[in-house]
Amino acid sequence: MLSFILKRLFIIIPMALLVITLTWALIRIAPGSFYSGEKQLPPAIEENIKKKYGLDKPWYSQYLLMLGNVTCRTLAEGEVTKNGLQFSIGQTTVKCFDFGDSLKYQGQSVNEIIRRHLPYSVTLGILAYLLALVIGLAAGIIAALKQNSPLDYGSMALAMLGLSLPNFVLGPILVLVFALGLHWLPPARWGNLSNVILPVITLAAIYMAYIARLTRAGMLEVMRSDYIRTARAKGLNETTVLLKHGLRGGIIPVVSFTGPALAGLLAGTVVVEKVFAIPGLGNIFIQAVLNRDEPLILGIVAFLSILIMIFNLAVDISYGFLDPRIRYE
């Protein structure tokens, strides 16, 4: 198990660098730049901007400079920074994961922006996934135990509706009904608990539907297994068979889905945060793309990719505890 974890952790670094490289290349291939607009800048001013941000250098020099800042570099004597992780090796100070300052938000580092906006996305994501997990598991288990019954058909029909209804449609509908129509809840912004209800429901709907369908499929397969029939033959009551034996194997598809889903939720859901004007990472990412803010785009993409790989590792580790047949050599 330990060797498996160490190998996976070692792979995270080159995979993250590959994602950063591809993102950087796509940004450079796309037409336009962060300083371009409807009005053309004078050539002298444009040349000064390129020189200030190192855009006058060859593309490979720009790439190596970016890669050196993102990985690790040695600080010059007297250099003071506020980005990334900084530590000392003897008399030498080394800094890693430095994405530099944002091009749009002058004087603000990328890491500071991520730290400032991450709590909003984390709060929204955790609440949404907990809601989706509770309702999705309950609906999937009931549908599996009452197969081909009205409960089964009804819950799966709602799940299909949740899968078919995009966030950018469901969000405005909820605002129209509960905020502008019934005046029960505020329509947007971030504040007290009432401000969280509509975005959490909007964000949880599609995950709730996925979890319900995955739970139903997993439980139907497990409850027909030989070891479940053996447990029933030993005289165990149905509740014990379900909770102790069936549920562990039945939720494995849900656990597989949890890794990338939870990482995406914690890193910020773009549409929901935009619809409800929540200052999370998703909203900031949209602004960064529109502004062609290269350091901020790279920082958020790198953070999200590392988060997905870490959660996938946690999912793989959990398999060994849920299914005794799985072994890590």
Token couple for 45: 């001013």
Quick one: DSSP state of residue 7? H
Contacts of 19 (CB under 8 A, 6+ apart): 301, 302, 305
Helix axes 193-222, 110-145, angle to 10 degrees: 50
pLDDT band (50, 70, 90) for residue 302 = confident
pLDDT digits (tens, 9 = 90+) for 200-216: 998 888 888 889 988 88
Token couple for 239: 């509740």
Whether the CB-CB separation of 246 and 219 falls below 8 Å is answered with yes
Whether the CB-CB separation of 7 and 329 falls below 8 Å is answered with no
Q: Is the pLDDT of residue 311 over 80?
A: yes
What count of other Cβ atoms lies within 10 Å of the Cβ of residue 264? 20
Whether the CB-CB separation of 88 and 232 falls below 8 Å is answered with no
pLDDT band (50, 70, 90) for residue 282 = confident
Closest by Cα among 100, 89, 158, 138 to 242: 138
pLDDT top residue among 266 and 10: 10
Helix axes 193-222, 167-174, angle to 10 degrees: 130
pLDDT band (50, 70, 90) for residue 131 = very high
Give me the mean pLDDT over the 177-190 stretch.
86
For residue 173, the surrounding DSSP H or E stretch is helix 167-174
Residues in a beta bridge with 89: 92
What count of other Cβ atoms lies within 10 Å of the Cβ of residue 290? 9
Looking at residue 316, its pLDDT comes to 79
What count of other Cβ atoms lies within 10 Å of the Cβ of residue 308? 22
pLDDT digits (tens, 9 = 90+) for 51-100: 777 777 777 777 777 776 676 655 555 555 555 555 555 555 555 667 77
Closest by Cα among 265, 255, 263 to 315: 255
Looking at residue 218, its pLDDT comes to 85
* Domains with residue ranges and CATH for the chain: 110-322 (1.10.3720.10)
| Pure H helices in 193-244 | 193-222, 226-233, 238-240
Q: 4-8, 13-17, 70-74, 90-94: lowest mean pLDDT where?
A: 90-94
Quick one: DSSP state of residue 42? P
